[in-house]
Amino acid sequence: GLGFNIVGGTDQQYIANDSSIYVSRIKKDGAAYLDGRLQEGDKILAINGKDLEHLRHKDAVELFRNAGYNVSLKIQRRLQPQNGPVGHREDGESGGLPLAAILVPGLALAATAVWILLRYRQRM
C-alpha cells in the first residue's frame, strides 16, 4: 500500500459539514513515511488528477488501492490540529505545547521578579 490511512467521505464525515478525505495515520516505514512529505491531518484533494470531492469513503479507498506505482497527490496542509485520530502520536512523542513555550515566559517572569526585588532592596 501507500503507507497511510484515510478518514472522511460523504458517508463518514470526519469533520462536521466536510466530506473531504484526510490522512489519519502515516504508517512507520511505509511509502508515505519514507517519502516524508505527507503529514497526518493533511486533506487530500486529488489522487493522480482525480478529484476526491463528493466521494464515499469506500470509493476513495478504492482509488488509492488502484493508484498504481507512481502516485501524485494534491493536498492541503492542515493549518491547526484537529480533534480525533489526526492528533495521534507514536514513538513516545507527546502533544501539547513545546517546552520553550512554557520556559521562555516563565524565565522572563522570574527575571522581572528578581529585578523588582533588587530595586526594592536598594531603596530600603
Confidence (pLDDT) at 101: 60
Range of the domain at 72: 4-76
We report the CATH number of the domain holding residue 34 as 2.30.42.10
Residue 67 forms part of a structural domain: yes
**Which has more pLDDT, 88 or 23?**
23
Residue 52 forms part of a structural domain: yes
Mean pLDDT of 98-117: 68
Provide the b/e sequence for 69-80 (b: ≥16 CB within 10 Å): eeeebebeeeee
Cα–Cα distance measured from residue 109 to residue 48, given in angstroms and rounded to the nearest whole number:
53
Q: What is the mean pLDDT of the chain?
A: 81
CB 39 within 8 A of CB 26: yes
Nearest to 16 by CA among 8, 28, 4: 8
The answer to whether the predicted template modeling score (pTM) of the entire model surpasses 0.85 is no
Grid cell, residue 82, equals 484537529
Mean pLDDT of 24-39: 92
| Secondary element (H or E) of residue 7 | strand 4-8
- Overall number of domains in the chain: 1
Confidence of residue 78 (pLDDT cuts 50, 70, 90): confident
**Which has more pLDDT, 41 or 78?**
41
